[in-house]
Chain A
Amino acid sequence: SAVISQKPSRDICQRGTSLTIQCQVDSQVTMMFWYRQQPGQSLTLIATANQGSEATYESGFVIDKFPISRPNLTFSTLTVSNMSPEDSSIYLCSVTGYRGDEQYFGPGTRLTVT
């Protein structure tokens, strides 16, 4: 399985500001994913990021709010823009394993918006 790191591990931000979360993988991967995990809720997929193309967003998530970059096969960023307290959550990046549908996750970024 890939080793995935995320920065920052946690942050406290003021409403109206933006935060960029970085995800680094130790091997080249085609697809990277961004999830949100709210307390007591299941993992919610935000978007799929492929290198060299626009990210694909799930219903309820838009590029203006969650812009994603994927400059190469080992790195991606997710920006949470114009934050509100409702954006307080854990944000996780992941990659698929060799089977194609199992996911391997980074340690997460714990975001609190005040």
Chain B
Amino acid sequence: QKEVEQDPGPLSVPEGAIVSLNCTYSNSAFQYFMWYRQYSRKGPELLMYTYSSGNKEDGRFTAQVDKSSKYISLFIRDSQPSDSATYLCAMSEGGSYIPTFGRGTSLIVHP
């Protein structure tokens, strides 16, 4: 079993939909949780950074962490075609400098 599991998709939604992207993990020592967005032929870009359980909101994006279930989510409201990208989750124990990445979910938002 991999430490971080993420469905690769693709996930195809119409413009304006609410998107839910998810990751599960097995290492209970993970405390810091990140979401990256990667456009085609670009490097990953840090989108959200959260610590421990709870929600964090930034514009149309909400990151949610449920440590009891070892489950994290990224919600995108009012999705736009420009949101079409691969979204990677990542998590770390803290202090190690090196997060563990999921394989990424490909999201397609069609007009």
Contact = CB atoms under 8 A, between A and B. Distances in A.
Interface of A: 1, 4, 31, 33, 40-43, 45, 48, 92, 94, 96-97, 99-108, 110
A49 to B, nearest CB: 12
30 contacts: A4-B43, A40-B8, A42-B88, A42-B102, A42-B103, A43-B44, A43-B88, A43-B101, A48-B97, A92-B43, A92-B44, A94-B43, A97-B46, A99-B49, A100-B94, A101-B32, A101-B94, A101-B97, A102-B32, A102-B34, A102-B46, A102-B99, A103-B44, A103-B46, A105-B45, A106-B43, A107-B41, A107-B42, A107-B43, A108-B42
B59 interface: no
Contacts of A104: 46
Nearest to A6: B43
A105 B86 CA distance: 15
Residue among B6, B46, B102 having the largest count of chain A Cβ atoms under 10 Å: B46
A33 B43 CA distance: 13
Contact of A103 (B42, B95, B99, B104): B99
B45 A42 contact: no
Contacts of B44: 43, 92, 103, 105
B96 interface: yes
Contacts of A41: 103
